Amino acid sequence: MKTQQGNNLSPFGNQMENILQIVIVYSIITLTLETLPDLTLGQRHFFEISEIVCVSIFSVEYLFRLFKSNNKLKFVFSFMGVIDLISILPFYLNLGSGSRALRIIRLFRIFRLLKLARYNKAISRFQQAFTSVKEELVLFFLASFFLIYLVSVGIYYFENEAQPQAFQSIVHSFWWSVVTLTTVGYGDVYPITIGGKIFTFFVLMIGVGIITIPAGLIATAMMKTRNEDK
Amino acid sequence: MKTQQGNNLSPFGNQMENILQIVIVYSIITLTLETLPDLTLGQRHFFEISEIVCVSIFSVEYLFRLFKSNNKLKFVFSFMGVIDLISILPFYLNLGSGSRALRIIRLFRIFRLLKLARYNKAISRFQQAFTSVKEELVLFFLASFFLIYLVSVGIYYFENEAQPQAFQSIVHSFWWSVVTLTTVGYGDVYPITIGGKIFTFFVLMIGVGIITIPAGLIATAMMKTRNEDK
Amino acid sequence: MKTQQGNNLSPFGNQMENILQIVIVYSIITLTLETLPDLTLGQRHFFEISEIVCVSIFSVEYLFRLFKSNNKLKFVFSFMGVIDLISILPFYLNLGSGSRALRIIRLFRIFRLLKLARYNKAISRFQQAFTSVKEELVLFFLASFFLIYLVSVGIYYFENEAQPQAFQSIVHSFWWSVVTLTTVGYGDVYPITIGGKIFTFFVLMIGVGIITIPAGLIATAMMKTRNEDK
Amino acid sequence: MKTQQGNNLSPFGNQMENILQIVIVYSIITLTLETLPDLTLGQRHFFEISEIVCVSIFSVEYLFRLFKSNNKLKFVFSFMGVIDLISILPFYLNLGSGSRALRIIRLFRIFRLLKLARYNKAISRFQQAFTSVKEELVLFFLASFFLIYLVSVGIYYFENEAQPQAFQSIVHSFWWSVVTLTTVGYGDVYPITIGGKIFTFFVLMIGVGIITIPAGLIATAMMKTRNEDK
């Protein structure tokens, strides 16, 4: 696997790897702060310059990795190779322009977070636990989707006439179903008819469990993986 | 079991079964999109024609299954036989009319989703896990119902005078109890008296767990079934 | 134990026990429906008469149990003896009057639900599971209370100045803490200051788990009890 | 460990320890009630006097502990030593003044709750369970933080234009992400665009589990620790 290989046969020394990790985190923080309103001109300049520095470092890193890899084409199309490119590309595409559409491209810099996958053992362990209950998770994802669909049809049937705006169609009813079954319950849409409330009662009694089961599955799987490690 | 039997002794080949599965999913998607407001006349026509095609396929399938089954009466009254009939009946009852009441009958086409039960192994595995903790689930369903009832009486006692509209009767208080104990909390009804708030405090401390226990039970049961399989 | 004994050495036959169970459920349903507004005079009369019948049956049952028990004083002060008395007493105290205060006493008829404990095996099994993790539950109840207290002090500190109405005192802040940590989130009170929001962020990241752990504990305990039974 | 040692080699007798514990709880209760609005002058006087008494007792306790400890400097800078000092210091700093800023310092008296850690076995058992799944908890805390960050960037992208007030920047979007992923859902901020709603749908389907997994982990860990104890 590329990730694994990147850890062991890294073309950089340990020191360098740590510095790169810090640069990634730093660039994510500036990405976040850049979106703050009411920045002074000085602050904007600072963020622009720090962005140029970060991209320069990532570009050198990309070229160095490309240069060091035996199979150059394989690297370019490998998962981490693509991520490395996506992390710097928005900057080069964006040069000199400042329109809204282009500013949104900047958000793609978030992909730099995925560069951390190269360094982070914890994430790969997380992936392992996910993989071990993958079948069950897919099953529950499907079951949840199925349930949400059925509930949407049901609530559409009960509430469409009373609240034609919020429950315009089965597609619109999806929003209520998701917000209710995950127990978020913003309160922007809720049933007002007697039928809709009784329907919601049964849906909640049966459905809430289904959506929260995957969490229990992963928790049990992680404890088991942990016991086997020891 | 009929479902099992339908899988093994299917009168159709594997190819045909797959095509039928796609038709079911396709007809569910059109059912969903049909309820969208602001459809053009062309789109409406398309949905009508695709409905006719789907029902034709399902009708042929039904007659074929009926013809192939040894005990015809048994098939008609079997679970899947009834589902097959309910899936196409609304169309024939609805021919030529367009009143609101009849449009609602169309929603019964949702029962086509249950036709998938014939094909889907995942669902039957899901049923297995449910069955293994059936007793506990019934127990908790009863306990939840019991709890919701007690909580409704309690909140009615505390809030009836202060909010005569939302807490008109014990029956009306059910809505608040369900929305609160499942932690959905829309915010359309909530206690405003000191007594009601203190009561809610204790109810939430004790009650939230009861409602979410079934999820934990199913999760543990599924992990156990899985370990036994291996 | 009285409950156990009541099951085995019941002074009534099995037939009679079943009838009594039905009467209890029936009287609870009428209690619920009685609180509905807009009842007709005829319906009110029906509920009054059915109440007289129920209380008569329960009174006869009480006297019969008292008569059949060897140690009469012990029965009167036993748990089920007290419940039996509380179930019928409000009726006798209420005779001939109709003031609001007395109508509330009627709600004490809800204690009839506890009479079912004499008959219901499921409930005693439930009690068993609770008992087996009693220590942990007490620990988490204390931890939850501790957490809610700390969170109330914290949010009072952050929000008191900005929302003097909702966060008047630490006592008033309790309401927000409970509604937030149980993830109900009605939306009647929420932090609006930056400090309060950051505080809520950390509280939710750490605290949500604590409140939901007891459910996991009971679920695991129930599965274990079940495995040991088999 | 200091806590342990404090239990075994306590300079006070058992009687005295119990009294101190009561004083701590009493002082926390008065701290809570003191923040209530509309207190009479008499009540204020009572709270002031009871505060002087409590601080006197805690001061004597502190000096006694300091006097009895072999290594005085070590005690002063030990965890419990610092807590003991923080519990009484706000009183001495506050003498004679009544400004708002100083009144907030009073809230630091909440640290007295931590003094209970010296007496309470239950808390140390709780710590044990936490420690045993520490790695996993850190992993999930990081994963949760990571997820909340990604979700904040996503919702900022979808909702920034439609709701420039609530989703001003990625930093502002954090509030929505936390309130949604923990399923609190106050309803003060929610997506209104189609894109934002679809994004929320997928986020909730995948994300809700991640945040609630730690609870399952601790529950399983506690049951395991318990079984090993027996």
Residues D94 and D140 in one domain: no
- Tokens in use for D30? 């008065």
Pairwise pLDDT comparison (C40 vs A100), residue with the higher score: C40
- What amino acid occupies position D106? R
Cβ of C143 under 8 Å from any chain D Cβ?
yes
**Of the candidates A144, C226, C117, A184, the residue with the CA atom closest to the CA atom of residue B142:** C117
- Tokens in use for D207? 């994300």
Tell me if D126 is assigned to some domain: no
**Of the candidates A68, A193, A184, B213, the residue with the CA atom closest to the CA atom of residue A175:** A184
Residues A183 and A205 in one domain: yes
Tell me if D153 is assigned to some domain: yes
CB contact under 8 A, C183 and D182: yes
**Among the three residues C97, C119, C141, which one is the final residue of a domain in this structure?**
C119
Q: Output the pLDDT for position A95.
A: 61
Domain enclosing residue B209, as ranges = 131-229
- Tokens in use for C208? 């949500």
Answer yes or no: are the C-beta atoms of A175 and A165 closer than 8 Å. Answer: no
Query: Could you tell me the sign of the dihedral formed by the alpha carbons of C134, C140, C143, C148, in that order?
Result: negative
Cβ of C187 under 8 Å from any chain A Cβ?
yes
Measure CB to CB from residue C32 to each of B157, B170, B201 and give the nearest one.
Answer: B170
* pLDDT reading at D9 higher than 60: no
Tell me if B166 is assigned to some domain: yes
Rounded CA separation A83/A24 (Å): 13
Tell me if B157 is assigned to some domain: yes
- What amino acid occupies position A89? L
Pairwise pLDDT comparison (C14 vs A61), residue with the higher score: A61
Task: Using a pLDDT cut of 90, give the percent of chain C over it.
Answer: 13
By C-alpha distance, the chain D residue nearest C210 is D215
Tell me if A124 is assigned to some domain: no
Residues C147 and C202 in one domain: yes
Tell me if B124 is assigned to some domain: no
- Tokens in use for A120? 């982070």
Residues C147 and C108 in one domain: no
Long-range contacts of B80-87 (CB under 8 A, 24+ apart): B80/B2, B80/B3, B80/B6, B80/B115, B80/B117, B80/B118, B81/B2, B83/B111, B83/B114, B83/B115, B83/B117, B84/B58, B84/B115, B86/B111, B87/B58, B87/B111, B87/B112, B87/B115
Residues B62 and B158 in one domain: no
Relative orientation angle of helices D134-159 and D194-229, to the nearest 10 degrees: 170
Answer yes or no: are the C-beta atoms of D73 and D64 closer than 8 Å. Answer: no
3-class SS of residue D1 = coil
Q: What is the CATH number of the domain that holds A36?
A: 1.20.120.350
Residues A176 and A216 in one domain: yes
Rounded CA separation A23/A109 (Å): 13
Reported as a single tens digit per residue, the pLDDT across B32-66 is 888 888 888 898 889 889 888 988 998 898 898 88
Rg (CA), chain D: 24
Reported as a single tens digit per residue, the pLDDT across D76-128 is 888 778 888 887 887 787 665 555 555 566 666 677 777 776 666 656 666 77
Rounded CA separation B78/B76 (Å): 6
By C-alpha distance, the chain A residue nearest C188 is A187
> Which range is least confidently modeled, A42-46, A157-161, D32-36?
D32-36
Measure CB to CB from residue B187 to each of D183, D187, D216 and give the nearest one.
Answer: D187
Pairwise pLDDT comparison (B185 vs C208), residue with the higher score: B185
Neighbours of A40 (CB within 10 A): 8
pLDDT band at B1 (very low <50, low <70, confident <90, very high): very low
Rounded CA separation A55/A108 (Å): 13
Neighbours of A130 (CB within 10 A): 13
Query: Could you tell me the sign of the dihedral formed by the alpha carbons of B205, B207, B212, B218, in that order?
Result: positive
Q: Output the pLDDT for position C191.
A: 94
- How many pairs of residues across A and D have Cβ atoms under 8 Å apart? 98
Neighbours of D82 (CB within 10 A): 14
- Tokens in use for A35? 């979106």
- Tokens in use for B38? 């602001």
Name the phi and psi angles at C132, rounded to 5: -65, -25
Rounded CA separation C79/C64 (Å): 17
Rounded CA separation A91/D70 (Å): 64
Measure CB to CB from residue C126 to each of B143, B149, B185 and give the nearest one.
Answer: B143
Cβ of B64 under 8 Å from any chain D Cβ?
no
3-class SS of residue C18 = helix
Long-range contacts of C159-162 (CB under 8 A, 24+ apart): C159/C191, C159/C192, C159/C193, C159/C196, C162/C192, C162/C193, C162/C196
Residue written as token pair 């007891």 = C214
Cβ of D136 under 8 Å from any chain A Cβ?
yes
By C-alpha distance, the chain C residue nearest D100 is C161
**Of the candidates B212, B195, B207, the residue with the CA atom closest to the CA atom of residue B147:** B207
- Distance from chain centroid for Cα B53: 26
**Among the three residues D119, D147, D182, which one is the final residue of a domain in this structure?**
D119
Work out the mean pLDDT of chain C and round it to a whole number. 78
Q: Output the pLDDT for position B229.
A: 61
CB contact under 8 A, C183 and A183: yes
Cβ of D212 under 8 Å from any chain C Cβ?
yes
Residues C113 and C16 in one domain: yes
Residues D70 and D32 in one domain: yes
- Tokens in use for B212? 């979410």
3-class SS of residue C187 = coil
* pLDDT reading at C27 higher than 90: no
pLDDT band at A2 (very low <50, low <70, confident <90, very high): very low
- Distance from chain centroid for Cα A222: 21
* pLDDT reading at A162 higher than 80: yes
B27, B32, B51, B60, C162 from B57: Cα distances, Å:
11, 19, 10, 5, 65
Neighbours of D139 (CB within 10 A): 21
Cβ of B220 under 8 Å from any chain D Cβ?
no
CB contact under 8 A, B113 and A149: yes
> Which range is least confidently modeled, C107-116, D44-53, D69-78, D173-182?
C107-116
- Distance from chain centroid for Cα C24: 17
Neighbours of D123 (CB within 10 A): 18
Compute the CA torsion angle A57, A62, A65, A71 (nearest 10 deg): -170
3-state helix/strand/coil string of D198-215: HHHHHHHHHHHHHHHHHH
Q: What is the pTM of this model?
A: 0.81
Q: Output the pLDDT for position B121.
A: 61
CB contact under 8 A, A224 and B223: yes
- What amino acid occupies position C146? F
> Which range is least confidently modeled, A66-70, A126-130, B30-34, C160-164?
A126-130
Residues A115 and A135 in one domain: no
**Among the three residues A68, A99, A119, which one is the final residue of a domain in this structure?**
A119
CB contact under 8 A, D35 and C212: no
Taking the CA of residue B220 and the nearest CA in chain C, the distance in Å comes to 7
Residue written as token pair 């807490």 = B167
Reported as a single tens digit per residue, the pLDDT across B160-176 is 889 988 898 888 899 99
Q: Output the pLDDT for position A7.
A: 42
Rg (CA), chain B: 24
Taking the CA of residue D219 and the nearest CA in chain A, the distance in Å comes to 9
Reported as a single tens digit per residue, the pLDDT across D187-197 is 999 999 999 99
Reported as a single tens digit per residue, the pLDDT across D127-181 is 777 777 777 777 777 778 888 888 998 899 899 889 988 898 888 899 999 999 8
Q: What is the CATH number of the domain that holds D224?
A: 1.10.287.70
Q: Output the pLDDT for position B120.
A: 62
Residues 166 to 185 of D: which have CB under 8 A from any B CB? 183, 185
Taking the CA of residue D180 and the nearest CA in chain C, the distance in Å comes to 10
DSSP string, C139-170: HHHHHHHHHHHHHHHHHHHHHTTT-TTTTSSH
pLDDT band at C138 (very low <50, low <70, confident <90, very high): confident
CB contact under 8 A, D186 and B187: yes
- Tokens in use for D162? 């439609």
Measure CB to CB from residue D107 to each of C157, C205, C213 and give the nearest one.
Answer: C157
Neighbours of B202 (CB within 10 A): 12
Q: Output the pLDDT for position A176.
A: 94
Answer yes or no: are the C-beta atoms of B28 and B113 closer than 8 Å. Answer: yes
> Which range is least confidently modeled, A113-127, A206-220, C159-173, D34-48?
A113-127
Q: Output the pLDDT for position B6.
A: 41
Neighbours of A83 (CB within 10 A): 17
Pairwise pLDDT comparison (D121 vs C153), residue with the higher score: C153
Per DSSP, D173 falls in state H
Residues C52 and C100 in one domain: yes
> Which range is least confidently modeled, A60-69, A95-104, B68-77, C13-22?
A95-104
Residues C85 and C105 in one domain: yes
Neighbours of D99 (CB within 10 A): 9
Tell me if B62 is assigned to some domain: yes
Taking the CA of residue B185 and the nearest CA in chain C, the distance in Å comes to 5
A132, B124, C18, D189 from C183: Cα distances, Å:
29, 33, 41, 15
Reported as a single tens digit per residue, the pLDDT across C182-220 is 888 999 999 999 999 999 988 888 777 677 777 777 777
- Tokens in use for A62? 């990309």
Total domains in the fold of chain C: 2
Pairwise pLDDT comparison (A213 vs D182), residue with the higher score: D182
3-state helix/strand/coil string of chain B: CHHHHHHHCCCCCHHHHHHHHHHHHHHHHHHHHHCCCCCCHHHHHHHHHHHHHHHHHHHHHHHHHHHHCCCHHHHHHCHHHHHHHHHHHHHHHHCCCCCHHHHHHHHHHHHHHHHHHHCCHHHHHHHHHHHHCHHHHHHHHHHHHHHHHHHHHHHHHHHCCCCCCCCCCHHHHHHHHHHHHCCCCCCCCCCCCHHHHHHHHHHHHHHHHHHHHHHHHHHHHHHHHHHHHC
By C-alpha distance, the chain A residue nearest B101 is A157
Residues B92 and B24 in one domain: yes
Tell me if D103 is assigned to some domain: yes
